[in-house]
Amino acid sequence: MRIYDRDLTGTTAAESGRPQETQRPDRGATSQAAGGGSGDRVELSSALASVSQALASYQSDHGAKVESLTAQFQAGSYQPDSLATSRGIVAEAVGAGAY
């Protein structure tokens, strides 16, 4: 059984006399605009590092708070502040535009 794989020009690899090539992105190359080397450039590495650090800090703080509240609840010493809870609910509703 023979399979003929035709590219856009209609020729097969066997007909062109060379093996069929595939395009692979060059990870080390930088892309440039069609007008030459003066294309736009975006660097996210420093911004992403800051965001990553902030998320890690938040997750660490949040995890510690959840563990603390869990321990208090299991020990029976958890005392929720109903006034702070109600203020938080109202503030969130007002901030979201719900009246």
Specify whether the CB–CB gap between 79 and 73 falls below 8 A.
no
Specify whether the CB–CB gap between 43 and 52 falls below 8 A.
no
Predicted pLDDT of residue 45: 78
Backbone dihedral angles phi then psi of residue 48, each to the nearest 5 degrees: -65, -35
Q: Is the pTM of this model over 0.75?
A: no
User: Could you tell me if residue 84 is left (phi over 0), alpha (psi between -120 and 50 degrees) or otherwise beta?
Assistant: alpha
Predicted pLDDT of residue 33: 46
pLDDT tens string, the chain, 99 residues long: the values are 666 666 555 555 555 555 555 555 555 555 444 555 678 887 777 778 888 888 888 888 889 999 999 999 999 999 999 999 999 999 999 987 765
